[in-house]
Structure 1
Amino acid sequence: MNHPLSQGVDPERWPALLESLSLQDPEEVRIPIWQYVWICKRHRWRILGFCAAAVILTVIISARLTPIFESTTTVDVDHESPPGVVGQDAARSVTNDAEQFLATQMKLVQSDGVLRPVDNRFQLRLREKQSAAESPRGEEAPVVLKRLRVTRPPNTYLMQISYRSDDPQLAADVSNAIAESYLEHGYDIRMRSSNSLATFMERQLDELRVKMERSSLALAGFERELTVINPEAKTNILESKLVQLNTEHTAAQAELLHQQAAWESVQGGSLEAALASPQGDALRKLVEHAQEVREHFADVAGYYGPNHPEYRRAKAQLDELEGDLEETRAGIARRVEVEYRESQRREEMAGEAAAQAKAEFDRMNARSFEYQAAKREAEADKTLYAELVRKIKEAGINAGFQNSAIRIADAARPALKPVSPNIPLNALLALLFSSLAAVSTAVISDLLDKTIKDPEQVARTLRTEVIGSLPLLKNVPGGRVLALPVASGNGTLQERDPGGFRESVRTLRNSILLGNLDQRYRSLLVTSAAPAEGKTTTAANLAAAYAEQGQRTLLIDGDLRRPSVHRSFKIPGVVGLANVLRGELHWRAAAIPVAGLPELHVLPAGAPSRHSADLIGRGLIEIIEEAAADFDLVIVDAPPLLGFAEPLQMATAVDGVLVVARAGRTTRKEVAAVLATLNRVRAKTVGLVLNEVHRELSDSYNYYDCYRSYYRTPESEPAENGLST
């Protein structure tokens, strides 16, 4: 028949299937911290073994190495010490960046100029066995000593020059020799610098001497041209003279204006102007006397007649006085004119003198600027020449000064104990790195492992319920048999519980019973993602556990392609479900009771068939419905779900589906695809059974140890064997 669910699930469709059902990708789930702890605990013996081997190997190798001794010379570096004894070099220098100064000195210690003399003396590169590739140009290559170490203790101005060698005396000698070479190299640098500076200054001194002589001759020429020794003093004299002449000229101009006004007034014949003139006093007296004479004449004329002698005498006196008055007025006018002309001449002369003085002052002032420039240049050349001579003398003195800015504070001594190999430190480092490597390898290998291992991981990554975990069985005699009580040859029950397996099956049974109290399961389908997951073993033992409890149970082997239930119970498997589906007989006739478990019946699969998908259909649904009426529980052992069509048909015919996964083998994506497929066909998933759980995969195995210890008897030691079908 062509059922709509007769198609298998292609693994390439798993991601799309998970996405369509809104299930979380199990690879994207975060792993909690305790999981890493459990990983380390699970691999603890491997980790401890690897670490122990690494430590032992490190100790053996370290013990076989040649002892290396280290000697250290301590050098005191005073970054504020003066570089010289005279001049500015005698002042203490202040370095703002002491760290940079000390770093420079440390690099200088490792320079070729310091190390080459020491290398030539002790042949250090030959002792260190440096290859030709490390020194490609022989003597031209800079000297680099691998065993040299230059350090600086924190918060100090000290440098420690350390050298390592298998000879303690050689290590001390080389360390001291490097320190002394460093001091000599610093002295040579200062000496070469001083000599170079002195040579340069001597060349500059010759040029400066010529320039100084030229500027001195120019200054002397200015002085001869100006006919003075100090043009500045002459300029000051001319300036004073010019001020005086300007003052006199201004006064002459004022006097001229005064005389001109007086002259113009006198020229008009005004008596008042004549009286206001400097000669007006004599005229004033004549005017006053003339007034008195006129008054006397008026009195005489009023008393006497014109012919009276007294009248004529008074008249003559008056005429004489008026003549004197007129003559005096004319004389005053002439004198005012003369004074005016003299004032005019004085003003002209004063103006000419001031103009001449101004011209001479301007000329002298202009030449004075040139003179001052020449004088300053000559004085600067003389000062620079004298300073350069002084610097040359100071450089010569300071060049021979070996300052104490760098000094050996503590010379190296031969070491009594080797610094390498440090066996305790090497062992500790080996333990540390081997632990990191082992733990990292364990964690990475576990992260790369995509299989499911324990119930906690399933609940965290797949978000589904693990209703049971079955431990790994080993060394069970007889191969693949039930780990539950079955009939022996004499009709008694054999009680075996290797590794707590029976108790785990009972726990699974109770989880199914108690997980759905409202509606009891009448039919269950047991399937897995792939073959060899342990589904048949789980179905057989679960059916036996139900039968032990007194429940009538029917176990149907639905794997028509690869039947195996009949081998677990050692019953015939020639006739079974395949014959029933073909209509050859009724299922009740094919069901076989299990010896020792009267409540358990097994319906084998019958002869294997490649056309099982065509047989599964309505017939199986009718068998399950009829069996559910006669039995308390019907358990169907189905083929793996991924890649086969019939498990999907069976899943729709039962009340619940039990998915079996093998710990450490089944991947998370396979289980997720199974759950998603069941969800797509609306089959009820009871839960997940994790099979073959052991201490290497899950911490839950400790519980099985508890079961085994609790039920162990002196007469019966548990035998263990792996059961996976």
Structure 2
Amino acid sequence: MVRAVPPQLSPGGVPEGRDLRDIGHAIWHNLSLVIVVTVVCVILAGFATLVVAPRYQSEAMLRISSPEMESGVLGEAAEELGSLSLLGFAQDEIDTDLGVIRSRQIVAAVVDSLSLHLELGQPRVARDSVVDVISAPEDAIRGRYTLRHQTDGSWSAELNPKIGSRQRIEGIEPGVPFEVGGLVLAIADSPDLQPLEHIRFRVQSFRETVEDLQDDLRVRRQSGRSRLIEIRYRSRDRLLAASVVNSVVDEFIHFKMQADRFESRSTVDVLRDQTARYEDDLRAAEERLREFRESAQLIDLKAQAEEQVAQLVSFRAERDAMIVERQALANLLADLDAESEGTSSYRQLATFPSFLGTSGIQQILQSLIQLETERATLLIGRTPESRDVRGLTERIEELELQLLSLGSSYFTGLETRIAAMDAMLARFDEELASVPEREVEFVRLARDQELLTEIYTFLQTRLKEAEIQEATEIGDVRVVDSALIAEEAYSPRPLLNLGLAALLGLLIGCTVVIGREVSGSRIRTPSDALEAAAGLPLLGIIPTESGPGSRTGRLKLRWGPELQSGTGTGLVVRNDPGNPLAAAYRGLWASVSLATNEIDPLPRTLAVAGVTGDVGCPSAAANLAFTFAQQGFRTILVDADLHSEAPLRLGSEPSQKGLMHVVEGFVGLSEVLVEVDAGANGTSLSWLPTGTLSPASAQFVSSARLLDFIEKLRKDFDVVVLHAPPVDSPGEGILLSASSDATLLVARADVTDREDVRSAISLLQRQGTRILGLVLTDAPTNGARLSRNGANA
């Protein structure tokens, strides 16, 4: 016989914890719950959409500008900067206007002009189409008003106030004004009102209405640096929505114009007072200057003073230049005297800046260069002591001494000129110091007169601008778009509401599933199974079926047609050997073989029992038995679960007689035994079905004859695989498992509770049952992954 070694699982058999695939698996298994929650949310949203009254939105757009910012130097500077908001105060000005629009003064004026504290309840139409509000003062009686249509065509009005007694008025004719509760109303004379039986409206507190409108009014700047302001309002009355927005615009423009007119008038008054005062001061200053000029007999003192100052500056500049030149020449002469080579270097005086333009000095310099050239030519063929060479040398020394004499003479001349300039500057200082005090007074008076003239001219200009602005009355608010009557309701939006409800339903459904996944007590993953197994090994992980035979993504675990040949994937190791499910069952056989090798003697009977019903125990027992047969073991599969509602099908239709009839001696074993071909390399699998069940089935499982029959099968077969009843069945499953050499316990993901696994293990261990380990069916495939070759990865 061939012995297979089981594949190695990851440490601990399965990875720790849950990942996104676990959650996806849980959501897929509970997809019906998610769908139900989503459908409920969509239905509720649809009902709310039908019940909620439609609301209409109207909006207007204003452009805020400042005349001072759009004209003059300030406006030009703003254009250079590219945006008024960059100037700082334009931002604050628009923010202030936003606050003004939402202010109580503007909103209260709108409420009063439109009588918004009178709210129509029924019918749900435009208020002005049924009632004409002639007067609705702030102190109108608060309460509920009902207008009832009488049989004679007239109307009656009934007031149910919050405080006070009821009032009732009869005989109200359509189109005729009537008074009730301080209101003056007129019922619209329209044929559309004939079918109406009553009209209901209420009057609330004027202050509460103002506060509600402040909350409902939406005022915002269009963008960060924009000067466009949007005003929005929503109401069940489409006419009223547009009227509110346009009324807010009108009240704001009126407020701005009144404020600008008051500001302009105040500015004109102030400028006129200041101009008159400075005009008197200017006249007095001019008169004082005229009287002083006549008494002092002065001409243009200012021109004289400016000429003297200009001469003084010129002389001082000239003296400073001579001092600099003298110092430079003195330094040059001192350097030349300090040289050790005598007078041979005095020719450097010819390069002094003041001598560069002197023709005499330049001629001497040219003569020196010519003599130097001639002497150099003579020295080629003669010695320095020759008469011609000495003559040229003496001539060169004379010319250099002549340069020194000219430089010394020029230096002496500079000294003399500087002394003369100092004397002249001293005389100028004396002349300036001797300016009469009346001349200083004249300068002061002239200065005061010029200052007053400039101030007076500025005030005259500003006064003319203010008078023009006051006369034109051009405001700084422009209506870009007026509010229009909405044609379609802004809310509710059926498609948007249903879409959001569907998303919300999906979110709620997934949240519920994830909550159950995290906090539930059912086994979700292989790690949960290991935790519940209390130290027992996890021998097999049978994944969720995902092949073409599955519609729901769940493993088909029930008895019946799923295990028939060619119909379904129950006996997957024969019908589809390359399927991952077949690989999982081969891995289960390898793990069971490895576990049984540690038992001496080798167990001949192996019970496969579910923790509870519907955990995939039939598929596990059938595929495990078939795998034993494929490996060459003489194997028999005994269907001992008499509580199953549908008998097992492994091929041809079995006889109505089965296990109970064989044990009772009604038929022989060979008459009911079904042989299932296990392939060329293996032996056939013998299958003993349950047969037709009877009321005595429960007592039959625990009978001694059944135990004797199983003992007989041990002698005839290598392996006896018992499909035992669930452990939670009334005693039968425990007794049958306890009578076997070893038991394989089966649990199902998302179905079996952890506590049920612990209880089943405890019950079997108390009966002395040898439990090989646990098998988890319908498990998520992210635990021990399965490949096509049958190995657990």
Normalising by the smaller structure, the TM-score range is: 0.3 to 0.5
Higher relative contact order (CA 8 A, sep 6+): 1
TM-score normalised by length of structure 1: 0.48
Q: Which has the higher helix share?
A: 1
Decide which structure has the larger Cα Rg and report it: 1
